[in-house]
Structure 1
């Protein structure tokens, strides 16, 4: 029979990069994560290994075979099972003392207040195209004074943006009001990654179809998202280290061995962003005209 669980022993190898007092602080923190898919699931497991003591997690979906290439909870044994239940079990297998509140219907206007109750940090794990839920959640975080982090899995890298209550809001940065879904997708993508480091090595453009809510993804990007998110979460929750907040952000692309910091005053209203959006729309029209992206 193995040893009984002991928090101090389980997370003792964190000590050195954090102090014992800081580890005890992390143990008292509660993080909300909406979405338990490609990034959300690995966010939960990574933050659980960081020693965070409590989570609110939300997802309405079940695991499917198409999730196998990137989602932490996607296994033969989990096919057809609710993602929120599978990931909760995996996190509790890391730390059986975790306090996990599960929201099996996902996040909506009806449960956002409950989902964010007692939260120290929100981590975005929603599907790229979940614009209504994402906008509502970031707006609720701002009202409640909760910092919010989104790390996008792009190509084989990640782009990071952080929104704090006293800083620029999600809506001010992305400017999604009044847009149709395709325009929202373009603005969200370019807002996340003004440098678009991932653009140059897309091998098969026909796999990208915004109108069908379809695009390729990699486990490399999801794992990188979790690493940078855990680091930013640590800094925010412990109140130490420099945190870049919107309209500042950064993108790292492992395939291109590139790292850039971004600064877009005005968000998508910035002249550089407006030019980028115009080019993106033009490229999308060209792809549609040639039939690329229809498959």
Structure 2
């Protein structure tokens, strides 16, 4: 499904206001050049998952002037999404996250070309989801690790840069996987591990600094068996800001990006910015210790 150059209904555009790309994104100029703005306009970004971070990503990138997206999600909004998800309003309860976020992105830029994947990312549509893409922005739920592994692997095979930003506490932990650098699998070391161990390794790998652990005041709110945990809207917005900045740098060639095994963790609550470096990824001795501490928590021990 595609929304190409589809304007919103006329009643939603007050009389006297006409969309113009150059004017709409004119306040970006200064931080980007007019020529760079046009390059952003032509770029295509794939976003899998349109919940907490994914919804914020598509709106942030739309306001940056990116005008082409491949987006995937099969879920609908529910009341428990209200605290953090950009498309969650009482008026959208029960509505498709995909359609709501498509509409919101088109409300920012009616000229956007948005390809929709209402089944989410599946084996049969993965190549279509990544077709024509300049960068993949990972926003999948924590508990769909098998799908995440497949997407990152296919990005590497197709030469597509892939990025992820995890909302942790009141901060964001960012990782970038270059098609020519350390791979997702080489970094996380998941192959052949039991499911719980894989998730422990993913959590440790995403957040080697674990800056958020000191202010979790209700530990029992984390329940791995029930697939739930606390979250904040601030973290999702910080993820989008960090991700949008790194996507801009990548698309415009604005200086080097540190790829895995480098990571970046910003915790606004503690006022800490931490660059992490884990040679060998989760095989690093520091990471092995961290994984051993996380495992019992996931098993309820």
**1:130-183 per-position Cα deviation (integer Å, ceiling 9, x unaligned):** 101100100110010000010000000000000010000001101111223322
Candidates 1, 11, 17, aligned match of 1:3: 17
**1:92-127 per-position Cα deviation (integer Å, ceiling 9, x unaligned):** 000000000000000011100000000000000100
In 1: Cα distance, 2:99 partner to 2:284 partner: 42
User: How many pairs were matched up?
Assistant: 287
Would you say 1:120 and 2:134 are equivalent positions? yes
SS in 2 for 1:136: helix
Candidates 95, 108, 111, aligned match of 1:97: 111
Structure 1 position 210, deviation (Å): 1.6
**1:192-221 per-position Cα deviation (integer Å, ceiling 9, x unaligned):** 111100000001010111222111110010
- Residue pair 2:136, 2:155 contacting (<8 A) in 1 also: yes
Candidates 64, 74, 89, aligned match of 2:88: 74
Would you say 1:214 and 2:202 are equivalent positions? no
In 1: Cα distance, 2:158 partner to 2:264 partner: 26
Q: Could you tell which deviates more after superposition, 91-100 or 185-194?
A: 185-194
1:292 maps to which residue?
none
Q: Sort the Cα spacing of 1:281 and 1:137 in 2 relative to 1 into closer, same or farther, 3 A.
A: same
- Residue pair 1:120, 1:146 contacting (<8 A) in 2 also: yes
- Residue pair 1:58, 1:104 contacting (<8 A) in 2 also: yes
SS in 1 for 2:111: coil
Question: Superposition pairs for residues 21-36 of structure 1, below 5 Å?
Answer: 21-36=35-50
Q: Sort the Cα spacing of 1:73 and 1:284 in 2 relative to 1 into closer, same or farther, 3 A.
A: closer
- Specify every segment of 5 or more residues in structure 1 that has no aligned partner in the other structure, as ranges: 290-295
TM-score where L is the length of structure 1: 0.95
SS in 1 for 2:66: coil
1:195 maps to which residue?
209
SS in 1 for 2:47: strand
Question: Superposition pairs for residues 266-281 of structure 1, below 5 Å?
Answer: 266-281=280-295
SS in 1 for 2:164: strand
In 2: Cα distance, 1:200 partner to 1:79 partner: 34
Candidates 254, 263, 269, aligned match of 2:268: 254
Structure 1 position 282, deviation (Å): 4.4
Q: Could you tell which deviates more after superposition, 140-149 or 274-283?
A: 274-283
SS in 2 for 1:77: helix
Candidates 35, 58, 64, aligned match of 2:72: 58
Cα RMSD of the aligned pairs, angstroms, is: 1.0
Structure 1 position 41, deviation (Å): 0.5
1:139 maps to which residue?
153
2:125 maps to which residue?
111
TM-score where L is the length of structure 2: 0.93
2:9 maps to which residue?
none
- Residue pair 1:182, 1:210 contacting (<8 A) in 2 also: no
